[in-house]
Structure 1
Amino acid sequence: MTKVAVLGAGSWGTALSLVLADNGHDVSLWTHRQEQAEIINSTHKNEKYLNVMIPKEIRAYHNLKDALQQVTVIVLVVPTKAIREVCKNLDAVLEQNVTIIHASKGIEPESLKRVSQMISEEMNGYKDKDIVVLSGPSHAEEVAQRQPTTVTVSSMNERNAQLAQDLFINKAFRVYTSTDIIGIELGGALKNIIALGAGISDGLGYGDNAKAALITRGLAEIARLGTSLGANPLTFLGLPGVGDLIVTCTSVHSRNWRAGNLLGKGNKLDDVLDQMGMVVEGVRTTKAAYQFAKKQNIEMPITLGIYEILFNDKEPKQVVEQLMNRNKREEMDDLARLLSSMYSQ
C-alpha cells in the first residue's frame, strides 16, 4: 500500500482517487475549498463534478500540510493556471521527498512552458526529467464507473514511470509507459484546441465529414508543433495523440467540445465559460499555441481560426469559409515531413 495525496478535487482528480483507492492505496484528496472537503467527508459524494459514491477510505482535506502527511507520491490534478501557485505552496510545506505525477493538460501562455517545466521551476529539488505525466483518452465519468480505460504515463526517469504504472494499473484502468514526456504533454494539451473546433463544427450543424477533416488536419497541426519542440512523432499516433483526440472531439463528456458547441451556436466566450462552471483548458492552450506558432512561424490554420473566434470575436462560419478556401496543397507534404522527422531521430 502506498500513501498518495491527490491535489485537485475536480472530476479528474476524484476519478483518479477512485482508481488509487480501488488498488488498495491510502488516498488523501486535497481541495482549496473547505466546504467541498467537508461535503466529501460527510456525504462521500462530490456531486458537482461526478455522480458516484466515494469510498470512506478516501479522506478529503482543505489544509495542504495535513493532506501531505507521510505521503510518498503526489498526483497533481489542478488547472494549469493554478499549477504555479499550488506548487509554490507545496514547496513551502512539503517535508519529505516524493514522486510527483501530474495529470493536468495545458500549456502556459507567454512562457509556453509545459506543466512539468512549471512544476520544476516552482519546486526546489524536483527536476522536470523526474516528473511523471499521466495522459490519454480518459473521461473522468467513465473512469469513475470503472469502464475500460487505457492511458500512458511518461517520464524521462523510467523508474518513476514504472512506479506510476504500478500505482494505477488494474483490470479497468490499463497503463502503458513512455519516455517521450514532451510528446505526451503536448498531445494532451493541444488536442483540446481541436476539440473546441469539433464542438464549434457540431454547433454550426455541420456533419461527420467536417469533423473527420477537422480531427485529421488537427492531428497534423499537433504533430507539426510537437515535433518542432522535440517530441517523437510516433507519440501522436498513440493513446495521448490520436486516442485522446478522438475521445475529446466526439463526446459530450468533453468540456472542450461542449464549450465549442455553445460557441458554434452563437454564444460569446464569456457567457460560455460562465455556463460551463468548470475550467476549459482549450481556451488557454489556444492562446499559448497561437503565440508559439507565430513566434516560430509554424503553420497552424485551425488553431489560428479558433483563436480568432475566441479572442477576436470572429464569426465561426467565416472562419470555416476561410479554412475551406485556403490555397491548394498536397496532403502528402505533411505526411512526408512527419516521416522525415521520424527517421531523423
Structure 2
Amino acid sequence: MRTKLLNNLFLSGVLLISCGLFQNCAKDEIETTGIIYGIVNDSDNGEPVQDAHIMLSPYGKAANTGSDGSYEFPDLEPGQYIIQISRTGYKTNTKRITVVAGEKASGDMMLKRGISAIRLSTASLNFGSQSTSKTFTIQNISTSGKSILWGVSKASSANWLSVTPANGSTASAKESTIVVNIDRSRIKKDETTILLIDAEGESLSVEVSVSKNEDGEGDGSQPDGGSCGVITPWDMELKTEFVGCIRIGSTVEFRFNVTNVAEDVKLTFKSYEGIDNKGNKYDSSNSEFKVSNKTANILPFLFPRNVPIPGQVILKNVPSNVYSVARFQIVIEKKSEPWSVLNTELKFEDVKW
C-alpha cells in the first residue's frame, strides 16, 4: 500500500514537472516574423479602395485590396520594405515600412484620384554577380503637354549604389535615362535596395538587387577589362556575339558578329544611341555604327543565312573617368523582309573594356 502511494506521488510529480516545462517552453517561444496590414482609402472621400494592386519589395509579393480596402502580407522577415499601390483612375503611390518580429506594421495608404504622369521601363534591376552599370527610363505619359519634374532617391543608405542623374525634367512624350552604378568593392554579401521615383504627386519604385562575386574577382571600384557585356538581340534567329571591346585614348570601340540562322532577311536601320556609366550620352554626333566595315544607313541591309556579319560601334571623346557603357541600342524599322524580327532594338548593356 505504501509502495503504491509512493508510486502515485512520484507519477504526479513527474506530470507536474512536465506540465511546468511545457508551459515554460510555450512562454519562451519567440516570434521570428512580422506582418504588414493596411487599408487603402480614397483621399477625397475617405472611402475604401477595392481591387487596388499592392506590390511588396523586396521579394516581389503581390496582393489586391478587398471590398473594405484591406490587404495583408504575413510571415515577413524583420527589415525594411516598400509597398507600391496602384489602381486605374488613381496616382500610384509608395510607402516605406519597417517590419518587427512578432508585430503588425501599418500599411495604411491614401490614394489620390488622377491619371499617372510617368511610367518606368522596368520595376527591377538585377545586377547578378558581375554587372556594375544598368539603366532604366522615366517616360512622360502625361496628357497635359507639359514637362514633368522628377527625383530619384534610395529607400536605404545603400552606399554601394549611385544614381545619375538624381533629379531632372522630362518633356512631354519623351523619356529620360537613369544610370544606376554599383561599387563592387563595397559588396560583401547579397544586397537589395529600392529606388523611389517621385513626380507630380505620385511615387513609383525600382528594386535593385546585387549578388556577391563568390570568386573574388572584379571587386574593385573599376571592373576588370575586356569582359564586354550583355546583349539583347533583335531576334533569337539573329545570334549576336561580342568579338572584342577596347579603348584607345578617348575612343571606345566594341565589335560584334550577327549570324542569321533563319532565312535571309533585310533590316532597315533607323537610329542608334547610348549612355555611359557617368551619364554621358552618345548618338550620331559623337559615335558611329558600322556594318561590314561600312557606315550603316537607312537602306535595307541583307543578313544572309549562316553568314556572320561584322558590326562595330565607335564612341568618340569618352571622358577618362568612364569605364563602361551602361546601354547602347541600335534601332531598326519595325518592318523587316521577308520575316518579322522580334525586337526593333539591338541592346548592348554594361559594356566594359
What is the TM-score when the length of structure 2 is the normalising length? 0.26
Q: Which has the larger radius of gyration?
A: 2
Could you say which structure has the greater relative contact order, defined with CA pairs below 8 angstroms and 6 or more residues apart?
1
TM, length-normalised to structure 1: 0.26
Higher helix share: 1
